Amino acid sequence: MWISGVPAAAAPTSCLQMPQDLSTRSSPAALLIPEPRAGRARHAACVLLAVCFVVLFLIGEPLMPITYRACTQLAALQLGVLLKGCCCLAEEIFHLRSRHHGSLWQMLCACFPPHWHLALLLVGGSAYLDPQEDNGHSPRLALACLCQLLVLALGLQKLSAVEVSELTESSKKNVAHGLAWSYYVGYLKIVLPRLKECMEEISRVNPMLRAHHDTWKLHILVPLNCDIWDDLEKADSNIQYLADLPETTLTRAGIKRRVYRQSLYMIRDKDNKPRPCVLEFASPLQTLYAMAQDECAAFGREQRLEQARLFYRTLRDILGSSRECAGTYRLIAYEEPAEAESHFLSRLILWHLQQQQSEEYMVQEELPLGTSSMELSLQLLL
């Protein structure tokens, strides 16, 4: 049996590996984390458009009447866009100073679509000026306006959930985008570059840590249900607190000597063998969880799950493009099992630790003789 792309015998239920470096070639992240949409809807529209042209050609419809009717229909659609802009303008005129800084031009640009809509309206409207057609243009034009205004008045032109999701993702204006960037800029970008230096320092007191040099990373737990434990030892008895890493002190945002600190844990396997691990939850997920509990946020369970996935993906992309953080972290996204398991979390973490060891071994096996550590770092970054 396979779970999230990982053999069930080797991994805990519903776990998700977030491979880094070499392992990204076979990442099963798509099973839980959706990738950005690839614009296939527009490609489908182009294919259907070609099909329509072929059908019209095969049934032998005359070209001129078809062109005329297509232009009138196009004009009606663009007229609806123009009328919608007028309705938006009726609202925005009351927010001229607060939303548009008193600029009429900025307000008009915000209410009305780009210039090519106007061009399509003129092209389509030219069909109404054809003198060879009957004289029913004015009633048809008025009827088109009436239908478009009826659609607007009844609120039938709302975007679908998929369109809203794609719009917010492409514009990077989701809650998750802000939380991921805040987490990176305000915390990870500060602590990750110093992580291995801190591990070197603490390993002088605990020499056994040197045997696990390949896992000297900050392991960031990302539960997709956003339910975070403040005390990891209570979440799983096989996770035991060992020590704090040396502090990073920084004056930031008016706070003198602000302290950043991570905790080192021992993870015990089924044979009671301990493995050291720098471990913590992604704290911004607490914000998503709190928003889902607060009626004022209007944030349901499905929105929370979607935003948690998007947070993971955004954070993965941010850290993946950060050279100063390369090789200093591991993201562990997962879904809680349907039935409670007392040692699910420790088995999940141990599996990731084993994966890192195998990845390190693969790197060493693939490197040619004489490869320097600097060359190795460059290979991992690329």
What stretches of 195-335 adopt beta strand conformation (E)? 218-223, 239-244, 248-252, 255-260, 263-268, 274-281, 329-334
Domain 2-35+175-367 has CATH 3.40.50.12100: yes
Indicate left, alpha or beta for 298 from its phi (over 0: left) and psi (-120 to 50: alpha): left
**Model confidence at 119: pLDDT above 70:** no
Rank 17-31, 176-190, 367-381 by mean pLDDT and report only the highest: 176-190
Phi, psi of 278 (to 5 degrees): -85, 120
For 77, 78, 134, 163, 238, the CA distances from 130, given in Å and listed in that order, are 19, 19, 9, 37, 81
**Model confidence at 367: pLDDT above 70:** no
- Count of C-beta atoms within a 10 Å radius of residue 30: 10
Domain residue limits, the chain = 2-35+175-367, 40-127+137-158
Non-local (6+) Cβ contacts of 350 within 8 A are: 267, 269, 275
**Model confidence at 372: pLDDT above 80:** no
Reported confidence tier of residue 73, pLDDT bands at 50, 70, 90? confident
Tokens of 246: 């040396």
**Model confidence at 366: pLDDT above 50:** no
For 45, 202, 214, the CA distances from 378, given in Å and listed in that order, are 43, 27, 17
If one compares 266 and 53, the residue with the highest pLDDT of the two is 266
Q: For residue 262, what pLDDT is reported?
A: 93
Record the pTM: 0.67
Least trusted range by pLDDT, from 86-90, 111-115, 273-277: 111-115
Reported confidence tier of residue 279, pLDDT bands at 50, 70, 90? very high
Beta 274-281 vs 218-223: how paired, if at all? parallel
Query: Per-residue DSSP letters for 187-205?
Result: IIHHHGGGHHHHHHHHHTT
- Could you give the percent of the chain with pLDDT greater than 70? 72
Q: For residue 220, what pLDDT is reported?
A: 95
